[in-house]
């Protein structure tokens, strides 16, 4: 316990790093994943803008990257990180890798949630003369908003999990803190302090997500 | 000139796999639908009627043939131009297809936004429409707070928002109970009579046709097998499939099974008299039979009213000397169609 009190500054810095990484990952990865998901959704057969080639390319790309364990992905993607961010290590480099990995997962989640919109509703909008982009923006996304929020909530929790591995490339965060000061120095209290804070983050995120989804669904 | 003209329209879908045959949902259909008609299209599920109606507003492109709306050929038009055509054709659905994420007002306003109306005009038009369908107090409600009948009334208000000349109703009452069905059909009748909207009604229920349609086409396996005035098709269906549909709402000529029961219960010769238009001929039948000194009883049948015109089939069991019956039937044949069951 004394050790934890000693480490308080490092602990809060790590917590802030985790929040910073998760927030920016959700911003960039969330936007990229949304575009990927929408791309998959509109180009599929019978979709709003069917396009077999684009659909197949997106599917192959996502299926290629998604199964790679993040701890390997973060290392494998380093040359790209260096080209884009300028450096291969550090918090910003970790955010880049996290955003990329999250985008592929979010793409699938977005696609699945958009697919829950009943085809009849889309047909109704078409029968009123609405074009595909208008239907996407004013019918499909609003109708799927509740499940989309829950899907994004699910991803935030997954990104908190992935961010624990950012330490591998010097990204910091609570995962790295627990490894460095807890596990390696035989300080279970320190390890558990990090665990409990992560659990608290997840609880808050899940609660907010549920609350928001319920408000949107108004049920 | 007809408002909607279909000429040799065919819609086929490519085969699902190499071994399967391509599916022809609509097969060489030619129809003319006049302005102001309530045109019923009846058929069993899979007969192609839902596909046919989706060709009219080009939700699906026809494979071949010509479709003209108000004289304008729509086959081969680009998607962008078709959107303009669709603004002039409203559509309602069996499952209502309301936007759950929008309020009743938002649903009815949607097509007006698509059509580019100004916000103030949209507000006034939505109020007017909700008033018309009797849901002025539900403007702020969400679809999941409404009953089935109310949902369909919102659907109708939404479909009529841009003042289309044509309304397509795809099994619009099939998900509703009989009383609500009647309510919705009454509303559609008002739409037709008060606003002069031409309505194309797709249904598998003959009483829907009987209640509101003026013209009817019977579809079977992609083809229109019979069409004409509702009165003509109901009073004298020619095709077996049409006869089956008419038989669901009208007691006509007894079927062989029914005939066997009638024979068991009643003595004498079983004869069906069919009347069209007016009761004079019906009275004359009874006068003739009575004058011939024959004994008879009414065993089956009924008189129907379609849009103010009556027709019916009455089956009598007639007893007396054969020769006298034959003579009497010859006289009666001048006033009514006579079919004797053998």
Question: Cα B62 to the chain's mean position, in Å?
Answer: 23
In a domain, residue A44? The reply is yes
- Are A126 and B89 in contact (CB < 8 Å)? no
The 10 Å Cβ neighbour count of residue B116 is 7
Least confident of A43-52, A76-85, A159-168, B175-184: A159-168
Q: Check if the interface score ipTM surpasses 0.85.
A: yes
Indicate whether B280 pLDDT > 80: no
Which residue ranges make up each domain of chain B? 4-88+164-249, 256-340
- Are B59 and A126 in contact (CB < 8 Å)? yes
- pLDDT of res. A172: 85
In angstroms, the CA A21 to CA A27 distance is: 10
In a domain, residue A192? The reply is no
In a domain, residue A102? The reply is yes
- Are A128 and B59 in contact (CB < 8 Å)? no
Structurally, chain A folds into a number of domains equal to 1
The mean pLDDT of B178-194, rounded to a whole number, is: 94
Q: Which domain holds residue A130?
A: 22-173
- Are A218 and B98 in contact (CB < 8 Å)? no
- pLDDT of res. B260: 87
Task: Give the phi and the psi of residue B151 in degrees, each rounded to 5.
Answer: -60, -45
CATH of the domain at A58: 1.10.3720.10
Indicate whether B279 pLDDT > 60: no
Question: Cα B231 to the chain's mean position, in Å?
Answer: 12
- pLDDT of res. A121: 97
Q: Say if CB A87 and CB A13 are below 8 A apart.
A: no
Q: Say if CB A165 and CB A123 are below 8 A apart.
A: no
In a domain, residue A169? The reply is yes
- pLDDT of res. B337: 83
In a domain, residue A181? The reply is no
pLDDT band with cut points at 50, 70 and 90 for residue B278: low
- pLDDT of res. B180: 93
**Contacts (Cβ under 8 Å, ≥6 apart) of B257:** none
**Contacts (Cβ under 8 Å, ≥6 apart) of B168:** A127, B53, B56, B57, B89, B90, B91, B92, B199, B200, B202
Q: Beta strand pairing status for B4-13 and B23-33?
A: antiparallel
Which residues of chain A make contact with B58, given a CB cutoff of 8 A?
none
pLDDT digits (tens, 9 = 90+) for A38-94: 999 999 998 999 999 999 999 999 999 999 999 999 999 999 999 999 988 899 999
pLDDT band with cut points at 50, 70 and 90 for residue B25: very high
- Are A121 and B98 in contact (CB < 8 Å)? yes
In a domain, residue A182? The reply is no
In angstroms, the CA A214 to CA A196 distance is: 27
Beta strands in chain B, from DSSP E residues, in sequence order: 4-13, 23-33, 38-42, 64-69, 72-73, 89-93, 166-170, 198-203, 215-220, 223-229, 269-276, 295-306, 309-319, 337-340
Q: Is B102 on the interface with A (CB under 8 A)?
A: yes
pLDDT digits (tens, 9 = 90+) for A5-39: 888 899 999 999 999 999 999 999 999 999 999 99
What's domain B256-340's architecture? 2-Layer Sandwich (3.30)
pLDDT band with cut points at 50, 70 and 90 for residue B241: confident
Tokens of B210: 């009987």
Closest Cα of chain A to B8: distance in Å? 23
Residue-averaged pLDDT of chain B: 90
The highest-level CATH class for domain B4-88+164-249 is: alpha beta
In a domain, residue A123? The reply is yes
In angstroms, the CA B335 to CA B284 distance is: 7
- pLDDT of res. A127: 96
pLDDT digits (tens, 9 = 90+) for B196-220: 999 999 999 988 998 999 999 999 9
Torsion of Cα atoms, B79 then B84 then B88 then B90, to 10°: 50
Q: Beta strand pairing status for B198-203 and B215-220?
A: unpaired
**Contacts (Cβ under 8 Å, ≥6 apart) of A18:** A160, A163, A164, A173, A174, A175, A198, A201
In a domain, residue A129? The reply is yes
pLDDT digits (tens, 9 = 90+) for A97-151: 999 999 999 999 999 999 999 999 999 999 999 999 999 999 999 999 999 999 9
The counts of H helices and E strands in chain B are 12, 14
């Amino acid at each position: 316990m004394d050790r934890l009190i000693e480490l308080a500054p490092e602990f809060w810095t790590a917590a802030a790093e985790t929040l910073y990484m998760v927030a920016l990952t959700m911003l960039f990865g969330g936007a990229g994943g949304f575009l990927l998901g929408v791309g998959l959704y509109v180009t599929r057969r019978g979709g709003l803008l069917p396009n077999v080639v684009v659909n197949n390319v997106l599917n192959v790309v996502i299926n290629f990257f998604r199964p790679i364990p993040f701890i390997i992905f973060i290392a494998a993607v380093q040359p790209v990180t260096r080209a884009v961010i300028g450096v291969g290590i550090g918090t910003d480099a970790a955010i880049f890798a996290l955003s990329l990995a999250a985008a592929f997962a979010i793409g699938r989640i977005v696609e699945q949630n958009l697919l829950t919109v009943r085809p009849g509703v889309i047909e109704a909008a078409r029968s009123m003369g609405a074009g595909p982009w208008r239907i996407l923006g004013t019918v499909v996304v609003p109708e799927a908003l509740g499940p989309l929020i829950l899907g994004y909530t699910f991803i935030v929790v997954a990104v908190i999990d992935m961010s624990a591995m950012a330490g591998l490339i010097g990204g910091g965060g609570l995962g790295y803190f627990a490894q460095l000061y807890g596990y390696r120095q035989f300080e279970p209290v320190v390890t558990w302090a990090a665990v409990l804070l992560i659990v608290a983050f997840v609880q808050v995120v899940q609660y907010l997500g549920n609350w928001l989804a319920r408000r949107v669904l108004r049920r | 000139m007809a408002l909607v003209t279909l000429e040799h329209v065919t819609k086929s879908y490519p085969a699902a796999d190499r071994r399967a045959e391509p599916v022809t949902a609509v097969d060489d259909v030619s129809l003319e639908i006049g302005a102001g008609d309530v045109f019923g299209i009846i058929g069993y599920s899979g007969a192609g009627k839902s596909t046919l109606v989706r060709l009219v507003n080009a939700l699906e492109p026809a494979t071949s043939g010509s479709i003209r709306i108000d004289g304008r050929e729509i086959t081969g038009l680009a998607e962008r131009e078709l959107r303009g055509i669709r603004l002039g054709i409203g559509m309602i659905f069996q499952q209502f297809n309301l936007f759950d994420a929008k309020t009743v007002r938002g649903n009815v306003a949607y097509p007006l936004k698509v059509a580019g109306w100004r916000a103030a005009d949209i507000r006034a038009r939505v109020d007017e429409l909700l008033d018309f369908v009797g849901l002025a107090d539900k403007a702020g409600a969400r679809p999941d707070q409404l009953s089935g009948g109310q949902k369909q009334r919102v659907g109708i208000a939404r479909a009529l928002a841009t003042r289309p000349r044509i309304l397509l109703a795809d099994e619009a009452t099939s998900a509703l109970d009989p009383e609500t069905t009647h309510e919705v059909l009454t509303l559609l009748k008002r739409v037709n009579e008060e606003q002069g909207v031409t309505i194309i009604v797709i249904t598998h229920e003959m009483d829907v046709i009987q209640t509101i349609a003026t013209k009817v086409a019977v579809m079977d396996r992609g083809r229109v097998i019979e069409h004409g005035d509702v009165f003509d098709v109901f009073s004298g269906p020619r095709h077996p499939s049409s006869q089956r549909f008419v038989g669901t709402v009208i007691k006509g000529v007894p079927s062989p099974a029914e005939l066997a029961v009638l024979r068991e219960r009643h003595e004498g010769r079983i004869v069906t008299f069919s009347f069209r238009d007016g009761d004079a001929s019906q009275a004359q039948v009874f006068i003739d039979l009575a004058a011939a000194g024959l004994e008879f009883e009414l065993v089956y049948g009924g008189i129907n009213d379609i849009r103010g015109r009556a027709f019916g089939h009455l089956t009598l069991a007639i007893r007396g000397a054969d020769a006298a019956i034959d003579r009497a039937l010859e006289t009666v044949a001048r006033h009514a169609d006579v079919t004797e069951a053998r």
